[in-house]
Structure 1
Amino acid sequence: MSTKLGEEDLLRKKVWKIINLTQANQLFVHYKDLSIKYFAEKSKKVTTSILPEILTLCVLNALVPNSAILLVGGHGGGKTTLSKLLGRMFTATSLNDIESSIIRGHPQLTEEKLIGTLKLGKLMKEGEEEVVWRHFVTNFWKIIDEVNRLTPYAQDILLSLLAEGTVKYYDSIISINKYCLFATINPHDIGTFELSQPFLDRFGISVPITMPASHDLQLILSGKDEKYSGLDELVQVPEILFIDDLMEIWYYVNRIQFSSEVNNFIHAIIREFTLCSRIDKGNTEDIKPSTGLCTGCHFNTAQNICNKIDSILSVRVAKDLLRYSKALAWLLGINNIDVNIVNTIAPYVISHRTKYVKRDLDKSPYFGNKYEFSKNILKTIQKRFKNREICYHITERFREGNPKDNDLTELKKFEKNDLIVKYDLIPFVNSINNKEYPPIAQEIQEASKKGDINKLAEIRNTLMEEINFPNRGDLIEWTNRELYKQTVTDYVFKYQFNKEVWADIAAEFSKLDQPLKEAFSQRQTKQIRTEDMLIEINVTGTKEDSLVNIQISGGSEALKLRDILNNLSYIQKEE
């Protein structure tokens, strides 16, 4: 890996090199493009970038920590091959090693073939159960070919990995701290199984793989026959990044900022898919829009979303919308996410997780295409979000403790035709529209403007004890966010100095001794919290020249730690 510090732009260029090499060497050829609109900070205008759809989304999956993608399409579309080639270029692992860790889905796949087996010699001689884990479990780059050929039992085993990052076999448990997973789905046939909604929900993103067009086939046929000559791993599929580099990229991706508008838009997407004026769609099975739930309902119109969706979206979807939007923003070199970026990513994050009303989905021009149907739904959501903009401004004024006299009246005008206003915004405003809330909110605002860290910490500590205070959770999060803004500082150093950093910090903060030791012990990202400080440590690898990132934020303790780190010669402060 690179031994220089702070080379974010170089890492981004290497990711673009992977995209360019894949296209230039015709490793994956497909006509479909992804049109990305975003607000360019330099020109102050909305800019459009055109990228290859399938390749870009697969690359984004590698840029998101502990990610999982579903490649959905027919036989022979190049899904597994693309996953393997990207694994080679992103991790510098040989194609043979990647191949050895691929799980080929079939109904007879047992637990032993999937995750591990016992070391028989030790079991027979000493009676000890020592597990030999499969390469699929231990390798960073994981591929499941034809995941819908796995039985429900095998799916449950993988669910544990995707949900908790752990795999259990007999009494042994292995933690999977870092991974990148690609899974392919072929059309249903006699040997496939239905994938459960909880299982599908663990895949952050999906992409449809259609068959190549005529021009694509012309390029494919004119290229080299890899079955005859193979692939040159030094030239055609070279090692471009290492896992340590990818860990550093994950750190940079996580730092991408987003506005309150983006926050509200993500909430709007989730709630538009979920809200119903009659029932809680998440807790019913038989009563749903497709079975007549919406008959006679005031909201049962062509302009509404709720009557076209049988299922709900989970909190994971909200997090994945943000994570993949951050990855796309980082790839494009954008410092802040905007609504357009989220809307570009959203169809691919949502489509595989949603059950649409079949009569609407099957209509022209969609004819069952969930991705195109999702795009149309999201266009409507974005329009409704724009129309609701004044409601968010009113709600924010109440949150800040400075509402106008007629704000509540204005908000209620939207109640009749907007489920989000009716069931989310108005109840929230009513909960904080009292005498106790505004003074505290105004105190937080004033302390934030002055940069008064001690006052912010004092307010937070008081709120921690006042369990019945209105909107307490939001206020605590607000103070934490302001403390973060005031004190957040990033540092980077090489792993060879981890013991020195550990000793220097532990000498002043003895209670951090053991947590720091554990944090530096392996490749991982770990948060260490005290009452007055948050430390996030990202260990990209355990080689001497591997990079370690430390981010600190909080109150007076964070400032004290910052002074210590600023005086260390072997640690570099990042701007």
Structure 2
Amino acid sequence: MPTNNIELIKALDKIRLGNLYVHNDELPDINFSSESLKTRKVYLVETLASINALVDRGTMLLYGGHGGGKTTLAKYLGQVFHQLSKDSIENCILRGHPQLTEEKILGSLDIAQLTGAKELSENASGEKKVDVIWNDFVDSQWKIIDEINRLSPYAQNILLSLLAESSVKYHNEPKRLGNFTLFATMNPKDDTNSNWDMSLPFKDRFAVALPITMPDYESLSTIGREKDKSNKLDNLASYLDNFDLRKAQEEVRELKYSEEAELLINIIISSYRICDRISKESNDKITVENGLCTKPSECHYYQVNKVCNKIINPLSVRVKEDLYRYGKALAWFLGDSEVELKHIKALAPFMIWHRSSLSKIFKKEISESRFDAGVFSLNIELESTREIIEMICSEFEGLFPLLQTFEKVKMGKLTTAEFKEFTQRIKDDRNNFLVTKKEIIPILEQSYLPVYNEITTFNNRIERTNDIQELNKIKYELTDRYDIPNRQFLADIIEKKRRKIGSQSLPPHVFKLSFKDLNLIVAKECFELEQIIKSKFNSNFNPTYNKTEVLSDLGEGEFNLSMERLNEGSGESSLRFVFQGKEDHPIFIFLKKHNVG
């Protein structure tokens, strides 16, 4: 169970007690597991903002009116998590403006080289080039985009690769970014005609979106009374002085999922996509608002308790990946030992509402029903998404046993008789689930039934052996077995088992090599390492500082090999390699020979 979360919560409490930033909305149905935090409330804004820093490449959109504390929150947390000064934080901010150019976003060419006052640099191919001086916003691990809706479509496109691929390019000079946390703030449209709509693909790059309301009456009683607020702001960098963010992120990545939570994520993504009559992802002309769901008699699934007739756009695969990552971060933040249903239910609305679109009729019904009950929605998109998630979770309760059994089918855990019984049971009319009708039943009958005995044989062989060579043999046999529907699933099991066996039997060896001229030395002495580096970096061998690069994985190859660039000061740097494999391997021999630390 995570323990460092307590240290983080205490730092957040200091901010709250200092009246620097206060929002009292709570995350529903969520509590801390740590004994010392049992009575502590789980505040919505600080929780979602904090877990955005606990994942790799966290991206969050804060939406709300002017003066609601959106940028302030991002600045404070940057000082706390990265021990940054107020001035350093200001350098991390990209302020939205319609006239923002590529140079103001990314960087500029070295003026000294352009004027001849300084020699040109050489690239890996020996060609002369002008260096790019990257802006602090690009280099910083903590990034803030203020008023992002004031960025033109041109500026949004420049940022798209940063958000999507963690890389940027300026004057043909690519730059791979290390791990970062990014917050973007967005105000409602004003009357200055300087706001731009954000495209759905651009919004899809933000994992979390949170509408920020103004502080409530209780909070307002403390705001503005602080006589010496600047002193507290100067101390923010010391609030988490001994907190290791990288270690916390590693702990987050290592957290496991309950079977229910993992399957719920899959069902949420599927429920947004599946339709009994059309492929939503490949048709934008016929929608639930335009001919698809206008006549209830034409579709068996046009029902009040079904979500398919309420969803216009399906979700991207990124939503699955983001829910998986942020689910772990929320569990860690709360002190839980694994990700459970409650974590996914709590997070899903905030990770989906801005990345899809729902039927206007459905949103109107939600708004009117709440209005009649005296409840006034602040954000109908978010509130409607909450309802969709509730409906999916309600159906999931009856669907879960069938999904559990289907997982056993993929693992070859059922006998032939049990498999045949399941294929009949799942077709029962009482199991009125769209995902079973459209996707599970067809694959059971068409793909699994003809080869199920062979699937059980493959799974038994994988389960019985602890020999890496035998696992390699099984994986090779699966390579051209296109008739095995769970071939990729079996390959994943083999990779995980290889990784586990290798990790237990092969000790890790740590080496430190000087970065200077290393690529030239590798090219002369170690062909195997040269090929790996070339495939990872192409011709631009310039690893990002303090970012662990996985060069080889025991799950797929003969050894584990990771690399991290370290700053040694005075312009010098080194590379820290961790090798886990046989000691007679050429890469191990090379690393040992050139080890300087």
**TM-score, length basis structure 1:** 0.83
Instruction: Return 276-285 or 347-356, whichever deviates more.
Output: 276-285
In 1, Cα distance between equivalents of 2:154 and 2:195: 13
The equivalent residue for 1:438 is 453
Tell me, what secondary structure is at the counterpart of 2:27?
Answer: strand
Q: CA deviation at 1:101?
A: 2.5
The equivalent residue for 2:284 is 285
Counterpart among 491, 498, 517 of residue 512 in structure 2: 498
Counterpart among 407, 410, 413 of residue 428 in structure 2: 413
Q: What is the letter of the counterpart of residue 322 of structure 1?
A: Y
Give the aligned length. Answer: 541
Q: Deviations over 1:165-214 (max 9, x none)?
A: 11111221211122110000110223211100110111111111001111
In 1, Cα distance between equivalents of 2:114 and 2:397: 65
Q: Deviations over 1:216-243 (max 9, x none)?
A: 10021333464xxx2444535535258x
The equivalent residue for 1:393 is 404
Q: Judge conservation of contact 2:109–2:131 (CA < 8 Å) in 1.
A: yes
Q: CA deviation at 1:379?
A: 1.4
In 1, Cα distance between equivalents of 2:160 and 2:59: 11
In 2, Cα distance between equivalents of 1:41 and 1:78: 29
The equivalent residue for 2:158 is 157
The equivalent residue for 2:125 is none
Q: Judge conservation of contact 1:247–1:540 (CA < 8 Å) in 2.
A: no
Q: Judge conservation of contact 1:437–1:470 (CA < 8 Å) in 2.
A: no
- Alignment of structure 1 residues 56-455 onto 2, 5 Å: 56-125=47-116, 129-189=130-190, 190-224=193-227, 226=229, 230-238=230-238, 240-241=240-241, 245-296=244-295, 297-362=299-364, 363=367, 364-365=369-370, 367=377, 368-401=379-412, 402-403=414-415, 404=418, 405-413=420-428, 417-445=432-460, 447-448=462-463, 451-455=466-470
Q: CA deviation at 1:340?
A: 1.4
Instruction: Return 485-494 or 145-154, whichever deviates more.
Output: 485-494
Q: CA deviation at 1:54?
A: 0.3
Q: What is the letter of the counterpart of residue 19 of structure 1?
A: L
Determine which structure has more spread, i.e. the larger CA radius of gyration.
2
Instruction: Return 116-125 or 145-154, whichever deviates more.
Output: 116-125
Q: Deviations over 1:21-41 (max 9, x none)?
A: 221212211120113448979
Change (3 A) 1:299 1:9: closer
Tell me, what secondary structure is at the counterpart of 1:33?
Answer: coil
Q: CA deviation at 1:348?
A: 1.1
Q: What is the letter of the counterpart of residue 284 of structure 2?
A: E
Q: What is the letter of the counterpart of residue 355 of structure 2?
A: R
In 2, Cα distance between equivalents of 1:560 and 1:437: 42
Instruction: Return 409-418 or 286-295, whichever deviates more.
Output: 409-418
Change (3 A) 1:347 1:527: same
Q: Judge conservation of contact 1:69–1:204 (CA < 8 Å) in 2.
A: yes
Structure 2's unaligned 5+ residue stretches are 121-128, 371-375, 519-525, 535-540, 593-597
Q: Judge conservation of contact 2:168–2:174 (CA < 8 Å) in 1.
A: yes
Structure 1's unaligned 5+ residue stretches are 1-7, 503-508, 569-575
Q: CA deviation at 1:524?
A: 1.4
Moved over 6 A (4+): 38-42, 490-495, 516-521, 546-549, 558-561
Q: Deviations over 1:118-159 (max 9, x none)?
A: 233422438954322111111111000010110001000000
Change (3 A) 1:549 1:20: farther
Q: Deviations over 1:332-376 (max 9, x none)?
A: 222211111111111111111121112222323264522222222
In 1, Cα distance between equivalents of 2:502 and 2:477: 20
In 1, Cα distance between equivalents of 2:183 and 2:402: 40
Q: CA deviation at 1:256?
A: 0.8
Q: Deviations over 1:1-32 (max 9, x none)?
A: xxxxxxx9664343223322221212211120
Q: Deviations over 1:74-129 (max 9, x none)?
A: 11011101101110111112110110221111111111211112233422438954
In 2, Cα distance between equivalents of 1:161 and 1:397: 40
In 2, Cα distance between equivalents of 1:417 and 1:110: 54
Q: Judge conservation of contact 1:400–1:442 (CA < 8 Å) in 2.
A: no
Change (3 A) 1:9 1:391: closer
In 1, Cα distance between equivalents of 2:41 and 2:427: 42
**TM-score, length basis structure 2:** 0.81
In 1, Cα distance between equivalents of 2:450 and 2:292: 41
In 2, Cα distance between equivalents of 1:343 and 1:547: 42
Q: Judge conservation of contact 2:18–2:232 (CA < 8 Å) in 1.
A: no
The equivalent residue for 2:538 is none
Q: Judge conservation of contact 2:107–2:132 (CA < 8 Å) in 1.
A: yes
In 2, Cα distance between equivalents of 1:250 and 1:538: 18
Q: CA deviation at 1:59?
A: 0.5
Q: Judge conservation of contact 1:32–1:54 (CA < 8 Å) in 2.
A: yes
Alignment RMSD: 3.8
Change (3 A) 1:241 1:195: farther
The equivalent residue for 1:511 is 528
The equivalent residue for 2:18 is 25
Q: What is the letter of the counterpart of residue 441 of structure 1?
A: T
In 2, Cα distance between equivalents of 1:48 and 1:359: 41
Q: CA deviation at 1:391?
A: 1.6
Q: CA deviation at 1:458?
A: 2.2
The equivalent residue for 1:506 is none
Q: CA deviation at 1:471?
A: 2.9
Instruction: Return 408-417 or 166-175, whichever deviates more.
Output: 408-417
Q: Does 1:458 align with 2:473?
A: yes
Q: What is the letter of the counterpart of residue 326 of structure 1?
A: K
Q: Percent identity?
A: 33
